Amino acid sequence: MTIIKWRLNPESERSYQRGITRNESEMAPNCGCDAETNIRKFNDHYLIDMAVPGRSKAEFSISLEDDIITISYEKKETEHDANAPKYLHREFDNSSFSRNFRLPEIVDKESISARYEDGILSVRIPFEDPEKNRISRSIQVN
């Protein structure tokens, strides 16, 4: 049995889609991966959902440096089992990836959280409480 997946031009299509995302999103992606990603903006937070089925949550890494959040997955090599079935056809991508997103200034970097459930990695990025930076004081003139 042969399965043929037809696309007009996969590289052009991916570049085009990344260009649209980069221009329309407040958090522009910068990656070379194919992890399908949705970014939604709610009243009090952003939510990044990545479709990454068949992975172990222990192998994900999420780091924050300045205003860049990096979401990556490092595939751990497993011992080859001689009795394991051999693939005749394989479309599940289980390779390592890394994806960067630039965060806007309004997020609360201390409260970012993540969960992995049913093949979806969700990263919740809450907005900073505007009252947090609001202070009242008098400034003495010297």
Q: What's residue 3's pLDDT?
A: 43
d(CA 111, CA 126): 7
* Domain 30-76+94-129: CATH class, spelled out: mainly beta
Retrieve residue 43's tokens. 């009243």
pTM (two decimals): 0.64
Of the pLDDT bands very low, low, confident and very high (cuts 50, 70, 90), residue 50 is: very high
Give me the DSSP letters along 24-75: H-SS-EEES---EEEEEE-SSEEEEEEE-TT--GGGEEEEEETTEEEEEE-P
Q: Is the dihedral of CA 79, 74, 97, 123 positive or negative?
A: positive
Chain segment 68-93, per-residue pLDDT in tens: 999 999 876 666 777 878 878 877 66
pLDDT at 37 over 70: yes
